[in-house]
Chain A
Amino acid sequence: AQTVTQSQPEMSVQEAETVTLSCTYDTSENNYYLFWYKQPPSRQMILVIRQEAYKQQNATENRFSVNFQKAAKSFSLKISDSQLGDTAMYFCAFSSPSYNTDKLIFGTGTRLQVFP
């Protein structure tokens, strides 16, 4: 069974600094997708970034980028120039086309606090 592990329950960063959130996963699948979701205090789940395992290039979305290390089964999220609005829970998630659905396996989350 696939598992997703986020070993940092809480992190903090000062505004404008850079922070990296860690995620590791375990799978025997060869084709899979990894995601980072943001959950602000409003409770809404917002997709931040996604990575297809077959792509060697790391995904980037504006200030958000990932470091995808397939052999190490590691998928970290880097937030550059942190903003107060980045304060949220961040969830790493896994899915695979072999599921025949888009169901997600989530990690336990990292609570990020951005300080002024």
Chain B
Amino acid sequence: KNEVEQSPQNLTAQEGEFITINCSYSVGISALHWLQQHPGGGIVSLFMLSSGKKKHGRLIATINIQEKHSSLHITASHPRDSAVYICAVSTYGGATNKLIFGTGTLLAVQP
């Protein structure tokens, strides 16, 4: 079992729909990250959170530390949101920060 699990693996939505991507983890973490990877491969950090909720434009990320679960929501989805969304966790310890990644959710938003 992976230490970071995402669901669904693939998601197709119609433009305007509300989208939710889930992430569960089984290790102790110092932070959780949501990343966006576009078809060319480049990765952009969307959120880093250790508690509660963060909002940026149409994107909302929440985390429940007790349940070891996070969700990424996209409101009023648009075709330009199509990408792979990756959940990653920062683990404790040492002189540096190591990330453990989920396998990603491929989102396709159709016009």
Partners in one complex: no
Chain A residues in the interface with B (C-beta under 8 A): none
